[in-house]
């Protein structure tokens, strides 16, 4: 009986400690939120409906509304959640951050951040058409889109994007003892697009805290940015084609023609492989991944030790994948892509010369196919080359096949460098990662190991099944 009483007393004591800790975190959260409401008063009216504290490591605030000072239109947020795998972190969050004692996992998620594109504070910040024309003429993306100079919030409203609803997530994984820091972010704008960013850094172990971070010598290990279109480009193409009075394919052809002419006016030498990648990346349903894996990491001292921009670009190991197909960047002259400063001073909206196709001619709907080809085959300014169709253009967009692991022959792997790969060896082992290189009868796969990564060579003779994400 005495043992049972001691056990019961121990349980009650632990429950009391947990209750006190929970109450302390609840009080700290309430105090922080109330201070935030007061401190934001000069800039905005901030309010929230309620909040919850989960002792397993989550704080969630719901029903948030923010109204910028001097305006009436609100920004509504369904909820903001802060999570950690270390529940004790929230007992002394500021102190832990100051001491560099970060939890292994820390994230913040914002659900349904919504605002109207016609909100009064958005309209107030929108530059006038005269200002846009004075500053930069027609934005690159708006070329060929009727009288549109830029895709401002007002134009977005006309496109049918009256309200944007966003989900955001930011995740931090840090190990101060080992000197590694991984940052991941994801922004999903419902019905338009999603963007993901994965950033890996290394630094001097033990220096990840505010007062010593400057001496931590952070180095970029890798970065990858992914873009997935989920409706924006279909809205844009339909809207611009309607303004121009043509179908979407003709609008995209005209946009490409004007984009090339603008690049030429700025003395930019853009290879055809990049124009093709640009058009594929701006088509409906586009899936784009761009990243870099600097050799040995990239820090301040490494950049200072490089002799030229070309050497820096080579060291970055850039890669671009559009719609699951790698883009060959090996022959791109990156310095030639830089616009000429003097040309930029005189740059205006690109126009087709007298002997070329004018905007109204190129965008005028024609019923006879032969006449359309005749109009579109007119020469561009300072060019005597006759073309029957615009180079680099694909036929009318069709839904892309689903991206998934597909069986692939070894000899075809050279076309999928930096793509996700899954292999099965004849031992029955499965390895997943990213294809880094194909060297003779061997491949190299980059695979996550714990909080870092490693490159594994695998001989062809040991491979049983090869699958590539495409």
Q: Which residue has the higher pLDDT, 101 or 354?
A: 101
- 236 has a pLDDT exceeding 70: yes
- Please report how many Cα atoms fall inside a 13 Å half-sphere around the Cα of residue 214, on the Cβ side: 1
Q: What is the pLDDT of residue 370?
A: 38
pTM: 0.66
Q: Is residue 33 part of a domain?
A: no
- Tens digits of per-residue pLDDT, 420-468? 888 888 766 788 888 888 988 899 988 776 556 778 788 888 888 899 8
The position carrying tokens 């040991």 is 462
- 400 has a pLDDT exceeding 60: no
- Of 327, 344, 378, which residue is a domain's last? 327
The region of weakest confidence among 301-310, 311-320, 386-395, 454-463 is 386-395
Distance (Å, rounded) from C-alpha 415 to C-alpha 417?
6
Distance (Å, rounded) from C-alpha 463 to C-alpha 461?
6
- Across the chain, how many H-helices and E-strands are there? 13, 18
Q: Which residue has the higher pLDDT, 416 or 237?
A: 237
Q: What is the DSSP letter of 268?
A: -
Calculate what percentage of the chain has a pLDDT beyond 90. Answer: 30
Question: Mean pLDDT for the chain?
Answer: 79
Calculate what percentage of the chain has a pLDDT beyond 70. Answer: 76
Same domain, 302 and 192: yes
Distance (Å, rounded) from C-alpha 52 to C-alpha 35?
17
Q: Is residue 394 part of a domain?
A: no
- Tens digits of per-residue pLDDT, 371-384? 333 333 334 333 33
Q: What is the pLDDT of residue 405?
A: 80
Distance (Å, rounded) from C-alpha 416 to C-alpha 326?
6
Q: Is residue 155 part of a domain?
A: yes
- 361 has a pLDDT exceeding 50: no
- Tens digits of per-residue pLDDT, 24-41? 677 777 777 788 788 888
Question: How many C-beta atoms surround the C-beta of residue 431 within 10 A?
Answer: 14
CATH number reported for the structural domain that contains residue 432 in this entry: 2.30.30.100
pLDDT band at 320 (very low <50, low <70, confident <90, very high): very high
Q: What is the pLDDT of residue 100?
A: 76
Q: Is residue 221 part of a domain?
A: yes
Phi and psi of 3, rounded to 5°?
-65, -40
- Tens digits of per-residue pLDDT, 59-96? 899 999 999 988 999 999 999 999 988 877 877 777 87
Radius of gyration of the chain (CA): 28
- Of 327, 346, 381, which residue is a domain's last? 327
- Give 110: exposed, middle or buried? Use CB within 10 Å, 0-12, 13-18, 19+: middle
Q: How many domains does the chain have?
A: 2
Same domain, 322 and 426: no
Same domain, 298 and 182: yes
Distance (Å, rounded) from C-alpha 406 to C-alpha 309?
38
Mean pLDDT of 122-131: 70
pLDDT band at 2 (very low <50, low <70, confident <90, very high): low
pLDDT band at 282 (very low <50, low <70, confident <90, very high): very high
- Of 305, 327, 349, which residue is a domain's last? 327
Q: What is the pLDDT of residue 90?
A: 76
Distance (Å, rounded) from C-alpha 273 to C-alpha 10?
71
Same domain, 320 and 430: no
- 364 has a pLDDT exceeding 70: no
- Domain of residue 258 covers 46-327
Distance (Å, rounded) from C-alpha 362 to C-alpha 244?
10
- 359 has a pLDDT exceeding 60: no
List b or e across 52-76, with b for residues whose CB sees 16 or more CB atoms inside 10 angstroms.
ebeeebbbbbeebebbbeeeeebbb
pLDDT band at 207 (very low <50, low <70, confident <90, very high): confident
Same domain, 105 and 233: yes
């Amino acid at each position: 009986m005495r043992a049972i009483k001691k056990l019961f007393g121990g349980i009650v004591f632990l429950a009391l400690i947990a209750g006190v800790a929970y109450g302390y975190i609840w009080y700290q959260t309430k105090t922080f939120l109330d201070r935030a409401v007061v401190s934001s008063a000069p800039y905005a009216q901030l309010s929230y409906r309620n909040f919850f504290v989960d002792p397993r490591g989550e704080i969630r605030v719901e029903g948030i509304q923010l109204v910028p000072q001097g305006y009436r239109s609100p920004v509504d947020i369904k909820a903001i959640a802060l999570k950690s795998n270390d529940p004790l972190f929230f007992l002394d969050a500021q102190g832990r951050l100051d001491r560099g004692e970060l939890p292994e996992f820390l994230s913040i998620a914002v659900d349904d951040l919504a605002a109207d594109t016609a909100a009064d504070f958005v309209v107030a910040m929108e530059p006038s058409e005269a200002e846009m024309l004075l500053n930069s003429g027609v934005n690159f993306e708006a070329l060929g889109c009727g009288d549109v100079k830029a895709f401002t919030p007002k134009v977005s409203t006309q496109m049918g994007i009256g309200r944007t609803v966003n989900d955001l997530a930011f995740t931090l994984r840090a190990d101060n003892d080992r000197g590694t820091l991984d940052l991941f972010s994801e922004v999903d704008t419902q019905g338009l697009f999603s963007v993901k960013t994965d950033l890996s850094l290394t630094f001097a172990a033990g220096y990840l805290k505010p007062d010593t971070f400057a001496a931590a010598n952070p180095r970029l290990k890798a970065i990858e940015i992914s873009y997935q279109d989920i409706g924006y480009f279909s809205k844009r193409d339909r809207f611009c084609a309607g303004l121009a009075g043509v179908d979407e394919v003709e609008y995209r052809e005209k946009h490409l023609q004007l984009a090339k002419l603008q690049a030429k006016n700025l003395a930019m030498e853009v290879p055809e492989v990049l124009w093709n990648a640009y058009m594929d990346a701006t088509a409906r349903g586009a899936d784009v991944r761009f990243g870099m894996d600097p050799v040995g990491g990239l820090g301040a001292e490494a950049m200072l030790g490089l002799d030229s921009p070309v050497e820096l670009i080579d060291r970055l190991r850039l890669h671009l994948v559009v719609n699951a197909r790698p883009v060959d960047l090996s022959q791109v002259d990156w310095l030639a892509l830089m616009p000429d400063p003097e040309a930029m001073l005189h740059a205006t909206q690109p126009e087709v010369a007298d002997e070329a196709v004018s905007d109204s001619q190129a965008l005028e709907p024609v019923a006879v196919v032969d006449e359309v080809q005749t109009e579109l085959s007119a020469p561009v300014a300072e060019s005597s080359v006759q073309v029957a169709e615009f180079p680099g253009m694909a036929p009318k967009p069709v839904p892309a096949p689903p991206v998934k692991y597909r069986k692939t022959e070894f000899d075809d792997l050279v076309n999928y460098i930096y793509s996700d790969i899954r292999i099965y060896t004849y031992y029955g082992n499965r390895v997943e990662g990213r294809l880094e290189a194909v060297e003779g009868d061997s491949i190299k796969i980059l695979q996550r190991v714990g909080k870092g990564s490693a490159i594994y060579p695998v001989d062809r003779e040991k491979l049983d099944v090869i699958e590539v994400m495409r």
